[in-house]
Structure 1
Amino acid sequence: MRTEFIEELTRLAERDDRICLVVGDLGFGVVVDFAKRFPDRFLNVGIAEQAMTGLAAGWALSGKVVFTYSIANFPTLRCLEQIRNDACYHGANVKIVAVGGGFAYGALGATHHATEDLAVLRAMPGMRVVAPGDTVEARLATRAVADLPGPCYLRIGRAGEPTVHDAEPEFRIGRAITVREGTDVAILSTGGMLKTAVDAAELLGADGISARVVSMHTLHPIDEGAILRASAETGAVLTLEEHSIVGGLGGAVAEVLAESASGVPFRRLGTPPRFAPRVGSQEFMLRQSGLTPPAVAEAARGLLLRHAALGPLMTVPEG
């Protein structure tokens, strides 16, 4: 996804001289073309993410559209105060780009595991939170984020993520994309888990279970309509994310379902809210968290079986 991001950003910068890029002493294999072509709009601030964010906010308030770029936790958690007070408080055109969400840098341990970022950034006033599901969405999300006024968070994969969409779908911030229709269960996915959701739906289909797959590429503002349609038109709802089950997509969907009193069977699939006791490759970390197509399919089956065993929800008679 990072390749699609930087290529699209470079194309946008050709047409819009407001677009700038600030990095925290990394990504040179990716950003070198942008830096050569637009030297007056590129800065490497070194390993100083707090300064990077404050500088980006000041640059943005002078009329620029400024993208900051770093690994996972570093442009988010390390400089959260600057994001809150400099970017969000002033509504600055700062676009925070985190490469390697979730366990993309799995072998480097908890300092490089981005499993709380969506929850934290979703709570920032005025912040839009976007996590595209594949390479196509990453390109479209970059374009949409650049056009949107105010602060945004764009969470992308490190590299090598599979392409799910055969053609460009309609992409709007705050509007989910239905990738696959289904009536028995809905899998709402965000970020790089989209291919896992599609593969799980294929496994369920082999068992005669019709699974809807929805790419929830925007966590804030969340697409309440897509959530409520899934709850009304299918028999159960699961959320799927490479992020803690606390406060990310699962938390956002739970809030909508609870306030709507839909009563649909619901389960959050993500990482447990603790530091990983073992580290390894991204694939290893996902297996440890039960975030594989067979595990997701089994969770969906279990949710449907539990609902069938419990029967319909009890209703309270009027009067």
Structure 2
Amino acid sequence: MRKLCLDMVYELAKEDPRICFIGSDLGFGTLNQFREEMPERFFMEGVNEANIIGMAAGLALEGKVVYVNTIATFITRRCFEQLVLDLGLHNVPVRLIGNGGGLVYAPLGSTHLAIDDIAILRTIPNMSIVAPADEAEMKRLMPLTVDYPGPLYIRLGKGNEPILTTDEVPFAIGQVIPMRQGSDALIITTGVTLQAALEGADELAQQGIAATVLHVPTVKPLPKEILLDYISTIPVVVTIEEHTLMGGLGSAIAELIAEANFSEGKRFKRIGLPDVFPDKYGSQADLMKRYGMTSQQVVAAVTGLRKKQLAFFK
């Protein structure tokens, strides 16, 4: 996913002289063609993310569209003040490309796990957040980022995720992608947990439970009206994300439901990382299984909520 994303930055830059790239301590071979063909718009800086964000903001204020790339934890935690004051406050077109959103860097431990990146950036006015599910969706997203207004965070997965999205539903920043249709339960997801959501919906279908699956690649600005249309008609809602339960997609949906004041109550559960630093090493898949970000947990959450719902009406 990262290679495709950066390759597309290069292709877009060949067509648009406004586009610049800034990397933070990336491998020397990263975007070699960009470096060789457009050296005046290519910058490879060291481990100084706060300075890089200021640099990107300055270029953007001079009319450039700037793409910044490094590990997701470094591009969100290390330079939070600059993200707020240089990007958010000035509302400039800087695109933050975060490598390894979620648990991708599991072998490196908690220092490299971007489990809070969405929560951090949701707090910044004018900041938008997108989390593609696969490389096909990334390819549809990138051309839309060039002229998108204001700062934008692009959350990258590990790469080589199964291709689950299609061109059947036109992709747009700020829209939801319906992947399954059903009236018994609603499963809402973003990024690479779309796979667990779809597998969970398939297992539920075998039990006679028809679930709608909504992929929400744009976590901010959240497509509230579309989501409310779906939530209003379905009694059971479950969210799943590769992120802490504090402040991510599930929190955004909970806020939406709480303020909607539906005449009928909703049964609701969030699936994600609990309020802990992951205490085991291993692979991304290992940690997702350990903390329940799986299709099995989706099934358990939906069936558990449905039992409570049915018991209430007896």
TM-score by length of 1: 0.94
> Which of residues 297, 300, 304 in structure 1 aligns to 2:299?
297
Instruction: Note if contact 2:236-2:268 (Cα within 8 Å) is conserved in structure 1.
Output: yes
Which residues of 2 match residues 256-295 of structure 1 at below 5 A? 256-262=256-262, 263-295=265-297
Alpha-carbon separation, structure 2, partners of 1:73 and 1:15: 31
CA deviations 1:184-231 (Å, max 9, x no partner) are: 111110111111111111111111111111111111110112321221
Does residue 247 of structure 2 align to residue 212 of structure 1? Answer: no
Matching residue's letter, 2:302 = A
Alpha-carbon separation, structure 1, partners of 2:30 and 2:197: 28
Alpha-carbon separation, structure 2, partners of 1:118 and 1:186: 22
Evaluate the alpha carbon distance shift between residue 64 and residue 290 of structure 1 in structure 2; reply closer, same or farther with a 3 A threshold: same
How many angstroms does 1:305 deviate by?
1.3
Which residues of 2 match residues 18-57 of structure 1 at below 5 A? 18-28=18-28, 30-57=30-57
Residue correspondences, number: 312
What does residue 130 of structure 1 align with?
A: 130
What does residue 108 of structure 1 align with?
A: 108
Which residues of 2 match residues 77-96 of structure 1 at below 5 A? 77-96=77-96
CA deviations 1:93-148 (Å, max 9, x no partner) are: 11111011000001101111011110110110111111112222212222222220
Instruction: Note if contact 2:23-2:68 (Cα within 8 Å) is conserved in structure 1.
Output: yes
Instruction: Note if contact 2:9-2:67 (Cα within 8 Å) is conserved in structure 1.
Output: no
- Structure 1: segments with no counterpart, 5+ residues: 313-319
Alpha-carbon separation, structure 2, partners of 1:52 and 1:168: 38
What does residue 73 of structure 1 align with?
A: 73
How many angstroms does 1:175 deviate by?
1.1
Instruction: Note if contact 2:135-2:159 (Cα within 8 Å) is conserved in structure 1.
Output: no
Which residues of 2 match residues 163-178 of structure 1 at below 5 A? 163-167=163-167, 169-178=169-178
SS at 2:146's partner residue?
helix
What does residue 188 of structure 2 align with?
A: 188
How many angstroms does 1:29 deviate by?
5.1
What does residue 63 of structure 1 align with?
A: 63
How many angstroms does 1:10 deviate by?
2.0
Evaluate the alpha carbon distance shift between residue 199 and residue 32 of structure 1 in structure 2; reply closer, same or farther with a 3 A threshold: farther
How many angstroms does 1:28 deviate by?
4.6
Matching residue's letter, 2:293 = L
SS at 2:74's partner residue?
coil
SS at 1:90's partner residue?
coil
SS at 2:301's partner residue?
helix
Instruction: Note if contact 1:230-1:237 (Cα within 8 Å) is conserved in structure 2.
Output: no
CA deviations 1:131-168 (Å, max 9, x no partner) are: 11222221222222222021111111121111102436
The share of aligned pairs that are identical, in percent, is 39
Alpha-carbon separation, structure 2, partners of 1:48 and 1:148: 26
Evaluate the alpha carbon distance shift between residue 168 and residue 31 of structure 1 in structure 2; reply closer, same or farther with a 3 A threshold: farther
How many angstroms does 1:282 deviate by?
0.2
CA deviations 1:20-67 (Å, max 9, x no partner) are: 111111155553333333222111111111111111111111110001
TM-score by length of 2: 0.95
What does residue 121 of structure 1 align with?
A: 121
- Structure 2: segments with no counterpart, 5+ residues: none
CA deviations 1:66-112 (Å, max 9, x no partner) are: 01101111011111111111111111111111011000001101111
RMSD: 1.5
SS at 2:205's partner residue?
helix
Moved more, 28-37 or 274-283: 28-37
Matching residue's letter, 1:245 = L
SS at 2:31's partner residue?
helix
Which residues of 2 match residues 141-180 of structure 1 at below 5 A? 141-167=141-167, 169-180=169-180
Evaluate the alpha carbon distance shift between residue 270 and residue 80 of structure 1 in structure 2; reply closer, same or farther with a 3 A threshold: same
SS at 1:75's partner residue?
helix
